[in-house]
Structure 1
């Protein structure tokens, strides 16, 4: 692509579940195709032990599901700002740092973007949540610094950041016809982020927009948290979660939490975890459920089960119930999940989201009826109970659904053009 009017820089939305890259060029879609003609690359790495290579995205998930021997890793973004970022994990007998795994994925993202654009990128605007870590500015700064350092390692020379909900606002603004006061609701895989911002056709030409941003806020609640709650409340009881030992104590819960949380599933496969389970099996009041847990771990089927739970969560946005078939663990075993049960399981998380929106309005000194539009983006913003909660807070606002996976990347591309030409 030799168009002299194309932007020098790209925008990268490195997401917990999916990642995108945006690049402005005249007369073309701003989103670059990253895999099989699609704009999203699932944030997944699979180390195929049989073929001795790393796969990414949908190809990684496909090889894992086809039964290749290997190691699957997902939700790598969740490591940023956590104590795990300086830890290592074993892959085919080698100790690999989590920083290296993040670098491996972001390098692949850059290479695919450059292949799609037909040119190299040295400048980038990276999206970031309002808070990588809640109530810990030092850990939050460390998370951003870690991501910037990795971006430099993969070849970016000029690096800057924009808050993800503000990027989504710029994408929405590119198509509006009049001034609006907009609440951006970005519910991603790992975080929920919000901004109250004044948008208009006239304002979108301005480089300086700080005066238009009335408030920003965020909370570390996202789609992977919804998955975890649905798994723990709806599925893991089949594997012994919340059952009793013979002394009436409750089964230790750590392995269930590991298996229900995308970025800790592999911790359930360690030798220590296996020995701990064997110790409690002797005292289990319902040993047949522990046998299922043993089978799940022996088969290293934790990611398979997590994908089934995620699919159930998505199905429950449109259906009242969804059945997960657990035949790979035990023939004839299944689990019926209901939407109301799912909503009950995430009620505490939704309370935190609503509280964050309420605080945002208070911080901006606004009443609810001042907001003209609510713009939803992010792959987890389709949960009906979440939308109903926001609607109850802002009953008079017009609701708009953006590109759930592309709005942030598109807005980052707009920002990249402004910053770097």
Structure 2
């Protein structure tokens, strides 16, 4: 038996084939989709959790060094790590929201895997992070009685990272190594938009040229594919793949840009010093750039606290900078972006939304209009549409249909933008979250029988 595994930026899901039908497995509270999140008492708890409670050995000398350091630091903090201290999915978000200051919280670690210039100890930590999340998911697969020895893991056309193919190789290597450590024996990869196309292909009664637009949390991938009865059962599909494009821009970027342009004013964005100078913009971008390792490290670094205090001391509106200091001390960047995500969803139905920003003991009421949201997210939206145009230019043919998938493809704003590019081509969709996973399960059956 084999499975398809979508280790997604926003959510993870797993499916296996029951005869000719993909079946998604329950991964959290009988739900098939588990958010790609982890919460722990400290950053160093991740490696110790793997070794102590998952019985997974560290990877090589660097992994052993990371484990020794992690255990030593936890002992210094007098942390006696219990298995329930590391949480995943919705449970992880609940832990973080209940006590952000005392919680190490990670969302979308897949976004970090292609980052270049990392030290070996950082790469080992990212692998342990992925390994912990995979180990939790594999334990849930085991409860279902499904044999998961053989797995096809989805991957974007291009992982997030500035290294091009070096970023892609690094990210895939981390995923492969983590998968092996948790017990997957035979591992293959498939492009996520191609997998989504395989699920759509199962519904076709005649051959078509289809543009698959997969807009996930961290990446947008487009594939122009020939599909239909002629191709359905072939395990070699290179000849059917006409064009690919992909970039590190997705639903998270829409949320981050909306947070930056509309929610950071109460924290001092665009405010001035006593001498009339504008506050440095990066101090308002970095805390909410949750998919950028460098930005997060820069804002939450100990030495940045001195700069933030200096900004507060010299602020014309110090009460706003006091809130930014609270973001630093309480690690509230993820919470602000979550507020932006909720606003984005609500504005798909309403012309304006009023929300409350909870900043520990402080509350700020904000009203955001739909037009302001559209302006805020215009830059990442244009990047997404440029990828659609790139795939069409590469392919040199007009598709018979556009198949949109991925959680962010639900957005009426993005669907309308695709329709404007291809006004005479039908835009269809299946399961926004499940089509990639189902396609990966279909491909696993072709790969492993």
1-structure distance, mates of 2:208, 2:348: 29
2-structure distance, mates of 1:24, 1:202: 21
Q: Aligned in 2, Cα 1:303/1:348: closer, same or farther, shift over 3 Å? A: closer
Other structure's SS at 1:175 match: coil
Q: Aligned in 2, Cα 1:144/1:110: closer, same or farther, shift over 3 Å? A: same
Does 1:301 pair with 2:310? no
Aligned to 2:74: none
Q: Aligned in 2, Cα 1:273/1:398: closer, same or farther, shift over 3 Å? A: same
Other structure's SS at 2:24 match: coil
1-structure distance, mates of 2:110, 2:258: 21
Aligned to 2:51: none
Other structure's SS at 1:204 match: coil
Aligned to 1:248: 276
Other structure's SS at 1:245 match: coil
2-structure distance, mates of 1:249, 1:168: 50
Residue segments in structure 2 that go unaligned for 5+ positions in a row? 43-78
Q: Contact 1:371–1:394 (CA<8 Å) still a contact in 2?
A: no
> How big is the shift at 1:301?
2.9
Q: Aligned in 2, Cα 1:233/1:187: closer, same or farther, shift over 3 Å? A: same
Aligned to 1:209: 237
Other structure's SS at 1:177 match: coil
Q: Aligned in 2, Cα 1:136/1:202: closer, same or farther, shift over 3 Å? A: closer
Aligned to 1:60: 92
- Once the two structures are superposed, the pairs formed by residues 144-223 of structure 1 within 5 Å of their partners are 144-223=172-251
Q: How large is the RMSD of aligned CA atoms in angstroms?
A: 2.4
Other structure's SS at 1:262 match: coil
Aligned to 2:27: 34
> How big is the shift at 1:180?
2.2
Aligned to 1:363: 394
1-structure distance, mates of 2:192, 2:168: 15
How many residue pairs are counted as aligned between the two chains?
405
**If each structure's helix is expressed as a fraction of its own residues, which one has the higher value?**
2
Residue deviations 1:274-317 (CA, integer Å, cap 9, x gap): 22201221222221210121233333333222222111122222
> How big is the shift at 1:216?
1.2
> How big is the shift at 1:105?
1.0
Other structure's SS at 1:284 match: coil
Does 1:348 pair with 2:359? no
Q: Contact 1:48–1:55 (CA<8 Å) still a contact in 2?
A: no
| Equivalent position to 1:390, from 402, 418, 426 | 418
Aligned to 2:54: none
TM-score between both structures, scaled by the size of structure 1: 0.89
- Once the two structures are superposed, the pairs formed by residues 15-414 of structure 1 within 5 Å of their partners are 15-26=8-19, 29-48=22-41, 52=82, 53-67=85-99, 69-83=102-116, 86=119, 97-116=125-144, 118-132=145-159, 133=161, 136-263=164-291, 267=297, 268-329=299-360, 331=362, 333-366=364-397, 370-414=398-442
Aligned to 2:59: none
2-structure distance, mates of 1:241, 1:96: 36
> How big is the shift at 1:87?
7.1
> How big is the shift at 1:177?
2.7
Q: Contact 2:326–2:359 (CA<8 Å) still a contact in 1?
A: no
TM-score between both structures, scaled by the size of structure 2: 0.84
Other structure's SS at 2:129 match: helix
Q: Contact 2:115–2:163 (CA<8 Å) still a contact in 1?
A: no
Residue segments in structure 1 that go unaligned for 5+ positions in a row? 1-7, 90-94
